[in-house]
Amino acid sequence: MTALLEIEGITKTFGGVTAVSQCSMSIREGTVVGLIGPNGAGKSSVIDLVSGFERPNEGSIRFDGREIVGKRPDQISRMGLIRTFQTPREWRDLSVIDNVRVGRSDLERDSLWRAVTTGRKLRRLEDRETDELRDLMTHYRLDTVRNQRAVGLSGGQKRLLEFARIAAARPRLTILDEPMGGVNPVLGERIGEAIRELKRNGSTVVVVEHNLPFIERTCDEVVVMDLGTVIAQGPFAELRDNKRVVDAYLGNDDE
């Protein structure tokens, strides 16, 4: 299998504080990779760098073999990469189903010119999709709220909406930033299932998460970060006894 995402020696400093330093990792296509590490290890910064929200001071990031450093978030997204944020980010005044529709739609369909010239044809196209989207809503337990404003959803429902939106967008790589944050155990199971479904539908997944049992159940491989760089990468079972990993998590007094 080839690497879908290749990060090589990226460094990022914020006003003198080094958040990421000489960090390299590679994510193979078709895997679910857990990105773990103590608070402040630089996990979220790596996500921001990969998705184009921040620009690294040095280093290279290749997605599907193409360099993406310097591209805007929307350009990177159009290559097939979707990320989430630590808090769910719904479009609050759109209906739940419209949130998913935006995920499903693309630049070509969004064209202002097409809206003016072929509005009716577009409407028919979208109506045909509605049945499919309704099934998707049911699948993510959003069927009862699908026509409501997204702002009214509960925290858990917003998480599920995020997964429904990603499923509709069919990305090649999904990066989830703490998808279990503030989620109860029952819903946690559903989210684990949603991640496996993403994989079945052909998306590679990177999950940042503090819940290690969840990572063990869900991920094929784990990348461990500390102090802005990768300290270990491999299957979860192998890392359990890795001294550096244990030190990073429990605090290391030797240094």
Partner 1 sequence: MLQYWTAILSEAAIFAILAMGIDMIWGWAGDFDLSAYAYFALGVYMTIVLTIGKAHSPVTYVFGWHLYYPLAVALSVVVVVAFAAVIGAIALRSLREVYFSITTLGAVWAIYYWVENFTPLFNGYNGVYGLFDPLGSGLSYNTYHYLFFAACLIILLGVYLLVSRISTSPFGRMVRAVRDDESAASVYGRNVFWAKYRTYLFGAGLAGFSGSLFAAYIGAFNPLDWKPTEIFVLYAAILVGGRGNPKGVILGSFIVYVGFVELTRYIPSPASRPELGPALRQILIGLLIILMLKFRPTGLIPERLGGDGTEGRRSWRTLFTKSPQRDAEPDVVIGALPASGVEAS
Task: Kindly list the residues in this chain that would bind partner 1 in the complex (CB under 8 A).
Answer: 51, 53, 72-74, 77-78, 82-85, 87, 89-95, 97-99, 101-103, 105-107, 109-112, 114-116, 119, 122-123, 126-127, 130, 133-134, 141-142, 144-149, 151, 154-157, 160, 165, 169, 181-184, 186-187, 190
Residues 6 or more apart whose Cβ sits within 8 Å of residue 116: none
Least distance from C-beta 156 to partner 1, angstroms? Answer: 3
Q: Choose between 124 and 244: whose C-beta lies nearer to partner 1.
A: 124
Token readout for 155 is: 């925290």
Q: Choose between 94 and 231: whose C-beta lies nearer to partner 1.
A: 94
Least distance from C-beta 122 to partner 1, angstroms? Answer: 6
Least distance from C-beta 236 to partner 1, angstroms? Answer: 26
Nearest to 65 by CA among 127, 128, 143, 8: 8
CB atoms within 10 A of CB 76: 22
Say which amino acid occupies 82.
Answer: I
Least distance from C-beta 97 to partner 1, angstroms? Answer: 5
Q: How many angstroms separate the CA atoms of 229 and 87, rounded?
A: 24
174 close to 63: Cβ distance less than 8 angstroms: no
For 8, 42, 65, 251, the CA distances from 12, given in Å and listed in that order, are 13, 9, 22, 23
Least distance from C-beta 111 to partner 1, angstroms? Answer: 7
Q: Choose between 62 and 149: whose C-beta lies nearer to partner 1.
A: 149
Q: Choose between 18 and 148: whose C-beta lies nearer to partner 1.
A: 148
Residues 6 or more apart whose Cβ sits within 8 Å of residue 38: 226, 248, 249
34 close to 236: Cβ distance less than 8 angstroms: yes
Q: Choose between 134 and 199: whose C-beta lies nearer to partner 1.
A: 134
